[in-house]
Every structure is written in C-alpha cells, then in structure tokens.
Amino acid sequence: MQEATCSHSWEMTNVQSGFIITEKCFKCNKTSTYFSFEDRPPLEEYHEGEHFWNVMGNAQSVCFDLKCKKCQLEIPLKELSGLMMCTGCNEKCKIDKLMRKLEKDRVWVYIAFGFHPIDENQQLSKEKIAIIEDYFNQRRGSSTSKIKIVSYDMIDDFDSCSGEVIKDIGLLSLTPPEN
Amino acid sequence: MTLQKIIDRFELKTLTNLEDREITGVYISDMLSDVMSSAQAGNLWLTIQAHKNIVSAANLIDISAIIVTNNKKVQEETIELANRFHVVILSSSLSTFEMATELIEAGIK
C-alpha cells in the first residue's frame, strides 16, 4: 500500500529501556536532558566545550519509534522525551482550558516533551505529535474515551505546572519507599 | 469477566468510583514506562505503586482497573485524581504473586 493513501495502523517498534538524564551546567546554568541507554545512569560530572555538566537526576523510561503495520512506514521519535497528563492546574494555561473543554467528552489531554536545551535540540513536529496521538488512540481500541496530545510549548508556566509525567523515579534507590 | 465480578470474587476494596466493564487480561508491572509500552487497553494492572503517576499511565492506555497489592496505602490525592479521570483503583491484601495466581485460577490470563 502507498504511504500517502494508507490508513495507518501503528505499532511500537525499536522499544528500548534506559534513563532520562537531567544535567545542569554550573557555569551557564543551562539544563540538558538526554536519553541514556547505559545499564546504570551516569553520575559523574564532565566537561564538554564551555559546559561543566552535573547530573541533577534520572528517571527510568522507554524510547520507541512507531511503524505502520500496513505500509511499513517508520516514524522515528528520538525527539520524544516523555508524556505528561494534564491535571488542570492553571486556569490561565491554554492546555488547562483545552482539557476543561474536552473532558466532558472524556477526551484526556497529554503533553509531549522534547529534550533540553530546547533551542539546541530538534523538537517534535506537529505531524509527529498527531501520529503519537493516533497510535495511542488506536491502541485504546473501542474505549469510550480518547486522548489528545499537544506540545509542551503550550504550557503557560513550567515552574508551577503539576501535570503527571509518565516516568519511573527512584526505583533504583537503596532507601525503601514509605508505605 | 467483568470488573464487578472480579471485585466480588476476590473481595477487593474499591477505593474510587467504579465503572464496570469487561476486562481483557492482566498486566503486572511496577514501572509506568513499562505499562505505557506493553499493557493493553482493558487490562487489570497489578502493582505495588500507589503514587499519583499511576493514574497518568493507566489513563493513557485505558486500563480497566489498577489493583494495588500488599495493602499498600493509596494517598487521598491519588484517589481524587483517579476519580477525576475515571480510573478505577482497587486494593488487595494479597501480594502481587498471590493475586496473579488467584486470577489465573479464575481463568483470567
């Protein structure tokens, strides 16, 4: 089937586990995030050009691409760092407004994130975000609800945003969690 | 089998509002990213995780219900968030292994 005429049926491909690493340069205060495929998250600080990167945290996650089962079209998603569910925390935020508008129809809003620094990393295109949304809605099958995925750049205030990110933090900690 | 039958049969505690539906199988994981990549819509999700983020992963995949095992305490804020997004959270005193065994014996795979 031709890609242009295919009614795509997406599946995950190239699924790899790893860590989302967050680093900060103590010289310029820039934050950097990237996906590490190492068995253990890096801990050491290192020097790269003008930057002195220090690890601020890590979260276990998966990265994946999407592939159409019908036409074999593959969509690489190396720009995707994660998904966050909007919880409606800021009435001034465009995503909050969208969520309140859609939730009566049981459409839940998720936000797709790219990697930092935003101006130095290629970010997800609208087309790719639409494909991710399409994939998860297809996977939900005959569900009575749907999801809508939007870009992080619609968030009004990152610092006060309290959406719920899908990532695993602290699972490698040696301190047992509180009950 | 429906969610209500599972609840009755295994005497699960319902922590949230309940929307009864047919379940499609069981997925066991304590990693949200694993659920995002591998669980199927309509699955029962067995976990010991009880923090708010479980709602985010369950809602994305349209999990039929989360069963928090080992009597793990689920915070009120997790329950409130789950109710808002129509995610069902159940609680069991059984371990994940014991719960899985019971479900298999009931014919759910």
When CB atoms are compared, the residue of B42, B57, B81 closest to A166 is B57
User: Distance (Å, rounded) from C-alpha A153 to C-alpha A118?
Assistant: 10
B-facing residues of A in 141-170 (CB < 8 A) are 141, 143, 145, 147, 163-168
Inter-chain residue contact B33 with A171, CB threshold 8 Å: no
The candidate with the shortest Cα–Cα distance to B67, out of B107, B18, B33, B34, is B18
Over the stretch B35-81, which tens digit does the pLDDT of each residue have? 999 999 999 999 999 999 999 999 999 999 999 999 999 999 999 99
β-pairing, A51-68 vs A164-165, is: unpaired
**How far is B53 from chain A, CA to nearest CA, in Å?**
6
The candidate with the shortest Cα–Cα distance to A153, out of A133, A129, A136, is A129
Tell me, yes or no, if B62 comes closer than 8 A to chain A by beta carbon: yes
**How far is B58 from chain A, CA to nearest CA, in Å?**
10
Collect all residues with Cβ–Cβ distance below 8 Å to A160 and sequence separation of at least 6. Answer: A89, A90
Maximum Cα–Cα distance across chain A: 54
Tell me, yes or no, if B61 comes closer than 8 A to chain A by beta carbon: yes
Q: How far is CA B87 from CA A40, A52, A105, B1, in A?
A: 33, 43, 15, 18
pLDDT for res A112:
97
pLDDT digits (tens), chain A, 179 positions:
456 789 999 999 999 999 999 999 999 989 999 999 988 888 888 888 888 999 999 999 999 999 999 999 999 999 999 999 999 999 999 999 999 999 999 999 999 999 998 888 899 999 999 999 999 999 998 778 999 999 999 999 988 999 999 989 866 655 555 55
Q: Contacts of residue A60 in chain B, CB cutoff 8 Å?
A: 31, 33
| Three-state secondary structure call for residue A67 | strand
Q: How far is CA A169 from CA A85, B79, B102, in A?
A: 16, 20, 30
pLDDT for res A173:
59
Say if residues A22 and A33 touch (Cβ distance below 8 Å): yes
Tell me, yes or no, if B107 comes closer than 8 A to chain A by beta carbon: no
Model confidence pTM above 0.95: no
pLDDT for res A1:
46
Phi, psi of A80, rounded to the nearest 5 degrees: -85, 120
Tell me, yes or no, if B25 comes closer than 8 A to chain A by beta carbon: no
CA angle A11, A14, A18 (to 5 degrees): 120
pLDDT for res B81:
96
| Three-state secondary structure call for residue B59 | helix
User: Distance (Å, rounded) from C-alpha B106 to C-alpha B103?
Assistant: 5
Tell me, yes or no, if B83 comes closer than 8 A to chain A by beta carbon: no
pLDDT for res A42:
80
Mean pLDDT of chain B: 95
Reported as type and span, the H/E element at residue B52 is none
pLDDT for res A2:
53
| Three-state secondary structure call for residue B7 | helix
Tell me, yes or no, if A35 comes closer than 8 A to chain B by beta carbon: no
pLDDT for res A48:
86
Buried/exposed A131-169: b ≥16 CB within 10 Å, e otherwise: bbbebbbebbeeeebebbbbbbeebeeeeebebbbbbbb
